[in-house]
Amino acid sequence: MLRAGALVALGGATAPLTGCDPFDRDDEPPPPDALEPLAAEALALEARHRAAAATAPTLAARLTPIADAHRAHADELRRVIGRPAPSGPSTGPTGPASGAPADAPDAVLAELRRAEQQGHANAAKAGATAPADRAALLGSIAAARATHVEALA
């Protein structure tokens, strides 16, 4: 009986020290996931492509599938992270890429190519250091972004 009392006393004394107190209410949100920046980047790229398509309608057929791919990547990244993707259209730039005039499709495409090249580098870097269960997804996104660079050439 004495041992049981000592164990209870010892357990009660160590629980608050280890953070295992049954009354401890941890209301802090979980730390950000390493994929959060890539999910945000995918939504930003989607928004840039949609804005460019809206301001340069002659490019819409070329840019819309790329924007759709970025939305799909963002949705999948958010699913893996365990957080819902925002509903509705992406928020982000509403004008042409970097303020390029609507009548300068070459300038719009060049700006989008630069953004895709940076996005490709970010996805490739993240994939190189990601755990195996995420590396395949990141490799797929990096490959898609490399393809987008070529499609915008």
Contacts of 58 by beta carbon, 8 Å cutoff, 6+ apart: 105
For the stretch 14-65, pLDDT in tens is 445 555 555 555 677 777 888 999 999 999 999 999 999 999 999 999 999 9
Token pair in block for residue 50: 């949609």
28 or 137: which leads in pLDDT: 137
pTM of the model: 0.72
- Give the Cα separation of 92 and 67 in Å (integer): 13
CATH 1.20.1260: does it fit domain 35-85+93-151? yes
- Hey, how many other C-beta atoms are within 10 angstroms of the C-beta on 78? 20
Q: Where are the domains of the chain?
A: 35-85+93-151
Whether the CB-CB separation of 100 and 108 falls below 8 Å is answered with yes
Mean pLDDT, all residues of the chain? 81
For the stretch 61-108, pLDDT in tens is 999 999 999 999 999 999 999 987 666 555 444 444 444 455 578 999
- Hey, how many other C-beta atoms are within 10 angstroms of the C-beta on 98? 15
